[in-house]
Amino acid sequence: LGSLSNTRRIVMLGKTGSGKSSLANTIFGEELFTIGHNSDSETSECKAKTKSVNGRSITLIDTPGFFDTKRSEEELKLEILKCITECAPGPHAFLIVLKVERFTEHEQAVITTINQHFSEEVLRYATVVFTHVLDNKYWKNNQSNQFQVKELLNTIEKTIEVNKGSCCTNEMLQTVEDVIQLEVEAIRPSSGNMSEEEIREQTKGSVSEKLLIKLAGTATGIVLGALFGVGVSVGTVLIITKGLLRLIAAIVSIMSIKYVYSNLYDLGHFQNSQLFLTIYNLYNIKTF
């Protein structure tokens, strides 16, 4: 996958107003993601930006409040599918962003939803960050915050090392990557002077739209569960995704497909997991 394999893909999750976009801009050191200035503002669609930070290529995927209830099912499903195509063949880390000074029943609902949708495998890649500042100018100019960003990225790197350098993948995510690769092969002959990155960007939009059509009628919760590795959801979405893969493969006559199997684990020991320790450590050093 070339440079793709050297890039850290990080998915940012959290409720509207939790500070995901501000955190993303602080990590990058510039305002690449739009920030709202009131509690009702939100990232309206899934967006991904890539930049080199401390010598490491990082892709941050800012999600549009997957845990909010304001969106229609179809709108939310499209954004989940965009996230899936942006992070395929899988993210190296999930950042769960919570706003510490207003930890209400809504924030608790985020934790409950994560507990329902995250497989134990996915929890191994999750880090929780408490935020308390939405003023991006303050974040960017504060040296202490920049130091803590470095510490956060070091924490993510250590997590990746523990996971032996692998990304968090499952059969469905890997199949989506295969679909993207096949589409890239189909587009390349007529791509002119487009770079590999530009071809891939064009392809991802096409793939997410095709998946939306194929998954019409599939519950949004099932699609979200497939992203997070829940076995039943992965199996349901995978059947449809494989159908799309076979269709594209037939068009471009490429049939070499590899899959990675993801197991469903008992989430009973959630608060004894590394995720709980990460919450504790980040909170005590007042990371954000």
Stretch(es) of the chain classified as CATH 3.40.50.300: 2-167+267-284
Tell me what pLDDT residue 230 has: 65
Is 238 in contact with 223 (CB distance < 8 Å)? no
List, in sequence order, every residue forming a beta bridge with 47; answer none if it has no partner: 62
Is 122 in contact with 228 (CB distance < 8 Å)? yes
Rounded to whole angstroms, the Cα distance separating 178 from 11 reads 20
- Report, at the CATH architecture level, how domain 2-167+267-284 is classified: 3-Layer(aba) Sandwich (3.40)
- Return the H-helix or E-strand segment holding 122: helix 120-123
Is 60 in contact with 25 (CB distance < 8 Å)? no
Tell me what pLDDT residue 260 has: 23
Rounded to whole angstroms, the Cα distance separating 68 from 106 reads 9
Tell me what pLDDT residue 252 has: 43
Rounded to whole angstroms, the Cα distance separating 155 from 173 reads 24
Rounded to whole angstroms, the Cα distance separating 151 from 137 reads 20
Is 177 in contact with 256 (CB distance < 8 Å)? no
How big is the CA angle at 264 (ends 231 and 175), to the nearest 5 degrees? 45
Tell me what pLDDT residue 255 has: 29
- Return the H-helix or E-strand segment holding 183: helix 171-187
pLDDT digit string (tens) for the chain, length 288 residues? 334 568 999 999 887 777 888 888 888 988 898 876 554 545 568 899 999 998 889 999 998 777 666 777 788 888 888 999 999 999 999 998 877 665 667 666 777 777 677 777 788 888 888 776 544 454 455 555 677 788 888 888 988 898 888 899 888 889 899 999 999 998 888 888 999 989 999 999 889 888 888 888 888 888 887 787 665 555 666 665 665 555 545 544 332 322 222 222 222 333 333 333 333 333 333 333
Around 112, how many Cα atoms within 13 Å sit in the side-chain half-sphere?
7
